[in-house]
Amino acid sequence: MLTILFDGIAYGMLLFVVACGLAVTLGLMNFVNLAHGAFAMAGGYITVVAVNRLGVPFLAALPIAFLFAAVIGVVLERTLYVHVYAKTHLEQVLFTIGLVFMSVAAVDYVMGSQQQFVTLPSYLQGQINLFGIGIGRYRLLIIAVCGLLTIALQFSLANTRFGSRLRAAVDDARVARGLGINVNAVFAITFAVGSGLAGLGGALGAEILGLDPHFPLKFMIYFLIVVTVGGTSSITGPFIASLLLGIGDVAGKYYAPQFGSFIIYIIMIVVLIWRPQGLFSRAVAK
């Protein structure tokens, strides 16, 4: 029972790390990026290549995954995404779906369509017993890493100069520019960090979520649920939403496998109808 709860928390944390970048771009920059999962996939695959083929230690591969996805993110942002910020949501959706199609086909060709696994070092395998609860070591690592990231993220958004610049740029880009804030740079950095986090999440999650070329399509709906249910006005909303989703999904698959992912879809629809702005957000006048 507690093991399931623990697994669920690890799963939820993972979802959060991947999805928080989406929460930032969608919530703060008002950009619907359905290709977000592609960055997670990029992180996952670079980890697989680094660890399995090049023999890089697993823990060292994580920052590589972060950087790799962040670089892809910033290149895409500078070359393509900047042109789409001002378009309608529908156009943004179609644009990013196009990117997803391209990435799926390209990865399928380069890496093959089979599922990939990362060989974990021995100290991350197996379980430790804590007060009679079996806790997977790998999942413990995930919770630790993701927990730290969450705190760092919340802190940097709320308490640093960059965080306030970002919020200012989002509130009113023109006025922010007038105050001497380099809005383009702020957006680019934000986007890079968001993509990087997705890449890191993909690297950590390759083992748990399963990594194949259809990853962006398969998990797109999960990330969107996190963001839409959690609301986009803060980081805590998506955090709570992803924990609930993670625990709910793991518990649901364990206790009521015949319903599958059915329940979470229904919950998403109900929440969206009931509170279109998300469960944990104040009504935003935008």
Partner 1 sequence: MSMDKPIVAQARGYLLSRARWSPFEIIFWIVAFASIFFLQSKHLILTEIAILGLFALSLDLILGYAGIVSLGHAAFFGFGAYVAGLLAKHGIIKEPVLAMLASGVAAMALGFVTSFLVLRGSDLTRLMVTLGVALVLREIANRLDITGGADGLQGIVMEPVLGHFAFDIFGKTAYVYSLVTLFILFLVARRIVNSPFGLSLRSVKGNPLRASAIGINVNIRLVAVYTIAAGYAGIAGALLTQATQFASLSVFDFERSADVMLILIIGGTGYLYGGLIGSVLFKLVQDYLANVNPQYWQFWLGLVLVMMIMFGRVYGAVMATIIYVACLALKLSFMQSIIITIIAVAVLGLMRPQILQITSRITERAKAALDGVKAKFRRSA
Task: Single out the segment in contact with partner 1 by CB under 8 A; choices: 47-55, 62-70, 195-203, 255-263.
Answer: 255-263
- Least Å distance, CB 164 to partner 1, is 26
Q: Quick one: how far is CA 258 from the chain centroid?
A: 27
Alpha helices in 49-117 (DSSP H): 58-79, 89-111
CB nearer partner 1, residue 136 or residue 216: 216
Q: Output phi, psi for 132, to 5 deg.
A: 80, 5
Q: Nearest CA to 24 among 217, 239, 177? A: 239
- The answer to whether residues 21 and 226 touch, using CB atoms and an 8 Å cutoff, is no
CB nearer partner 1, residue 49 or residue 94: 94
How far apart, in whole angstroms, are the C-alpha atoms of residue 263 and residue 109?
34
13: three-class secondary structure by DSSP: helix
- Least Å distance, CB 177 to partner 1, is 18
- Least Å distance, CB 211 to partner 1, is 19
Contact track, partner 1, 24-53, x by CB under 8 A: --------x---------------------
Binding of partner 1 by 228 (CB under 8 A): yes
CB nearer partner 1, residue 105 or residue 179: 105
Binding of partner 1 by 99 (CB under 8 A): yes
Residues between 257 and 276 with contacts to partner 1, criterion CB under 8 A: 258-262, 265-266, 268-269, 272-273, 276
Beta bridge partners of 136: 127
CB nearer partner 1, residue 160 or residue 261: 261
- Which residues, 6+ apart, have CB-to-CB distance to 180 below 8 Å? none
Q: Which residue's structure tokens are 């990026």?
A: 33
Using CB under 8 A as the binding criterion, the count of chain residues that bind partner 1 stands at 45
Positive or negative, the CA dihedral 280, 152, 163, 95 is negative
Binding of partner 1 by 102 (CB under 8 A): yes
What is the residue type of 30? N
Binding of partner 1 by 110 (CB under 8 A): yes
Residues between 112 and 141 with contacts to partner 1, criterion CB under 8 A: 113
Hey, what's the torsion of the CAs at 215, 191, 97, 224, to 10 degrees? 60
Contact track, partner 1, 152-181, x by CB under 8 A: ------------------------------
How far apart, in whole angstroms, are the C-alpha atoms of residue 118 and residue 109?
19
Binding of partner 1 by 88 (CB under 8 A): yes
How far apart, in whole angstroms, are the C-alpha atoms of residue 51 and residue 207?
13
DSSP 8-class letter at 130: E
CB nearer partner 1, residue 75 or residue 208: 75
CB nearer partner 1, residue 99 or residue 208: 99
The three-point CA angle 196-185-90 to 5° equals 70
| Single residue of 89, 159, 171, 283 touching partner 1 by CB under 8 A | 89
Beta bridge partners of 130: 133
Interacting residues with partner 1 (CB under 8 A) = 32, 75, 78-80, 83-84, 87-91, 93-95, 97-106, 108-110, 113, 217, 221, 224, 228, 258-262, 265-266, 268-269, 272-273, 276
